[in-house]
A and B are shown apart, each in its own frame.
Chain A
């Protein structure tokens, strides 16, 4: 039974699978161990209610790396990405705002609220796209290490800085501003209308326990425009069959290279000889051995859960204690008997085929955050909705629909403590539905089934510590060479032969596949496997 593997990957989320696929493609013998009965982790599709496929957690694809799609031939293995056509911000009064994939139509929409904003909007898009180019090499390479004096590290930094070469000083200033400002402050420099700014500002706080006026939230806006840089690839949108199909496509690619995948197999701890890993112990006591072990779990879970503090340096443990998780989001998935109708724009028009943001004003978002600060879920939260069944009929029976609602804020740390979540789950679900009902009257009567996912559920069911959707906040002090811990940003760990490849490593969370891919590249390059 003692088969020998080059690598055992802990966790069958999309990053673990991507890492496995790349290692196996390079000829290594790889085993993936997943605790749940389905693959995908937070990028998963499940029929929780018969006939309706939910993207239980992650629901839109934005930054899945084009090179991974190509290298692993994901289209051949079933990846299909469908366009999300527009962004709709419903309002209590007036028609709300829809941003279309057509400049003139969008201009007219915005002009209903502000003629100035209408004109500046395309300019903003161009500027952001230009700045997003600086980001691309950063997400597509291992993190630079500015503290290192090794020539290799400097060469690497210079390579990453290449897009800055031709930049004029003003752009550099803008870029620096973005890195430090709050998303609202940054947007205030451009726009005046709330209904435009609010839905844009929220992209800066997704997955963080911060408000839209917290400093350092502006740069996340750039992530959104990264999608435009990769635009020709058209990899932005919905995954056919739900987000889980991305994970399944990666899994099929991995299997085609010989990766062995086991589900319902939970790893209890990493096997170590001194400070060197040589395998894992499964729940139930079975041991599996390998030359290297790679964990795709959230870092605190990896180190405190599977390795143990005793085996780790103090400094490292201190840093990890400080690593900010503090999840603040929830998810509500609805099966609907028929298509909802929005009060501000009746009818089943195209405006529902994109993403729909319940973020009518900055004040609304601030209020939502205020409650969260004091350990309550927002009674009137920010909600990001998609109705994938409109674009992908395969996820619901004919005429029926799936409505996916990402909700913020739902702080893990409730005033009563996180254990109070199970008793508040339904109240939280009600708050979300009540909020929606105000914008889309009659929604309640269409609901056939409701799945409510609190940060507590994300931790218990999905292994997302403190319910953080990205395995750690994507705030500046936890990114690049600081992710997850300064000095350990290159997928290595203080334990020899134990590596990391999940969203808790550079370049972070989201269904990008980049951590898995870069971890495999690094391991192969350094001949660690």
Chain B
């Protein structure tokens, strides 16, 4: 049975729709209201309170913590100053991505790594030569994402952190109203101005109540995973298990992807002296080129309209983000698949994330995507465009 997150007592009462799903063994609300529109809107206009406790969290400390993580991860986190955080991925020896997540430097000798899948074994297996302690705090730290343009002003009322000093990908220890010390990071998965709040389980409810209460004046509302999914597609963020398969979970090699193939090439720092897991393979791939590329697609609206008009129907797009693999064609041949997508309420575009062959990946390339109308499979043009689709200035502010 999935378990309850430390926020559950509140979220259960608020989630009047009873729409839940299992996220890494936790109950997670899909949508508190009848449609994701209002919750999506909170992400883009107000402040969305999203329970992200099910993320895996590991605290790595000790004299060798930095060196150990540098060995494990595609970028050298020793370059982070305490109070800074970074988005990155880690690979197997063949340079295939195992998972992606964030790494924060909490202090000189302590780092916190988050991941989408459990990583304890992988961490331990490589820790033997290093003087480090690894603590799995996945179940002892509650995590709440507070995302949206009013989140900063709201937090000013709810914690004692210097909000102006906390820059994009910074983090700080702070005391939250409602009791309890915790960590506040200027990060998120929505592509908007936003924060993530990390507190001990015991302090979760107090924090939640304080945010809900003070948040009334800031358009703060509980937001479920459906709305989060729309915003992460707009932000062009990939999701492990959906847009790619972690190397440890793959049944066959063809299911694995390199960072370059996932658009994560920018996180890979090959020009460091020491080796890191996957470095050789990644160096080879960097030189010889990758087979696949992750791209953004803008699905042609007029063609879609024509398709529906042909059936005498108004154009329809799913109300939520979708995540079923859909074939992509180019020059009469399948060249890849779209892995997730969504109508973007913000951009008024029908968007998808897709993995396609390199030669079909240049921005501007016209591809075809399968689209089913009235049980009939049709093709609609889709143009390769740059991600992030939605990239407001406030995201980095």
Contacts and interface: CB of A to CB of B under 8 A. Distances in A.
> Do A and B interact with each other, yes or no?
yes
A27 interface: no
Given A231-B314, A393-B45, A80 B153 contact: no
A232 B41 contact: no
B100 to A, nearest CB: 28
B188 interface: no
Nearest to B40: A83
A394 B316 CA distance: 31
B348 A392 contact: no
A398 B217 contact: yes
Interface centre among A70, A229, A393 (most CB of B within 10 A): A393
A101 B33 CA distance: 10
A76 B389 CA distance: 11
Contact of A399 (B46, B217, B346, B349): B217
B53 to A, nearest CB: 26
A149 interface: no
Contacts of A101: 34-35, 37
A394 B348 contact: no
Interface string A200-238: 000000000000000000000000000011111111000
B63 interface: no
A380 interface: no
B341 to A, nearest CB: 14
Given A82-B41, A391-B41, A232 B316 contact: yes
Contacts of B301: 66, 70
A423 interface: no
A316 interface: no
A75 interface: yes
A231 B305 CA distance: 12
B38 interface: yes
A50 B138 CA distance: 47
Contacts of A353: 38
Contacts of A398: 150, 153, 217-218
A69 interface: yes
Interface centre among B35, B37, B41, B349 (most CB of A within 10 A): B41
B96 interface: no
Given A82-B41, A85-B38, A231-B314, A69 B348 contact: yes
Contact of B314 (A82, A229, A391, A394): A229
Nearest to A348: B216
B317 interface: yes
Interface in B294-316: 301, 312, 314-316
A166 B312 contact: yes
Interface in A74-103: 74-76, 80-83, 85, 100-102
B344 to A, nearest CB: 8
A240 interface: yes
Contacts of A100: 34
Interface in B17-71: 33-35, 37-38, 41, 44-46
A391 B45 CA distance: 8
B37 to A, nearest CB: 5
B218 A83 contact: no
Nearest to A230: B314
B120 to A, nearest CB: 41
A450 interface: no
Interface string A159-181: 00000001000000000000000
A280 interface: no
A105 interface: yes
Interface string B346-390: 111100000000000000000000000000000000000000000
Contacts of B241: none
Contacts of B316: 232
B222 interface: no
Contacts of A75: 346-349
B46 A105 contact: no
A70 B216 CA distance: 34
B199 to A, nearest CB: 24
B343 A80 contact: no
B289 interface: no
B37 A83 contact: yes
B147 to A, nearest CB: 14
Contacts, number: 73
A233 B347 CA distance: 10
Given A393-B45, A398-B218, A233 B34 contact: no
B312 A392 contact: no
B373 to A, nearest CB: 12
Contacts of A392: 45
Contacts of B317: 232
Interface string B86-110: 0000000000000000000000000
Interface string A380-419: 0000000000111110001100000000000000000000
Nearest to B35: A101
A240 B45 contact: yes
Interface centre among A66, A101, A102, A232 (most CB of B within 10 A): A232
Nearest to A67: B302
Nearest to B157: A398
Contacts of A291: none
A398 B149 CA distance: 13
A129 B314 contact: yes
A262 interface: no
Given A80-B44, A393-B150, A399-B217, A234 B38 contact: no
A425 interface: no
Interface in B304-333: 312, 314-317
A83 B315 contact: no
Given A75-B346, A391-B41, A102 B314 contact: no
Contacts of B37: 83, 85, 101, 234
Contacts of B35: 101-102
Contacts of A69: 348
Nearest to A100: B34
Contacts of A74: 348
Given A101-B35, A232-B314, A232-B343, A399 B41 contact: no
Contacts of A394: 45, 149
Contacts of B217: 398-399
A399 B346 CA distance: 25
Given A66-B301, A232-B343, A234-B348, 9 more contacts: A75-B346, A75-B349, A83-B37, A229-B314, A234-B37, A350-B33, A391-B41, A393-B46, A394-B45
Interface of B: 33-35, 37-38, 41, 44-46, 149-150, 153, 216-219, 301, 312, 314-317, 343, 345-349
User: What are the 8 A-B residue pairs with the smallest beta carbon separation, nearest first?
Assistant: A399-B217, A398-B217, A393-B219, A102-B34, A83-B37, A232-B315, A75-B347, A229-B314
15 contacts: A69-B348, A70-B348, A80-B346, A82-B45, A85-B37, A100-B34, A102-B34, A228-B314, A233-B348, A234-B37, A391-B38, A392-B45, A393-B45, A393-B219, A398-B153
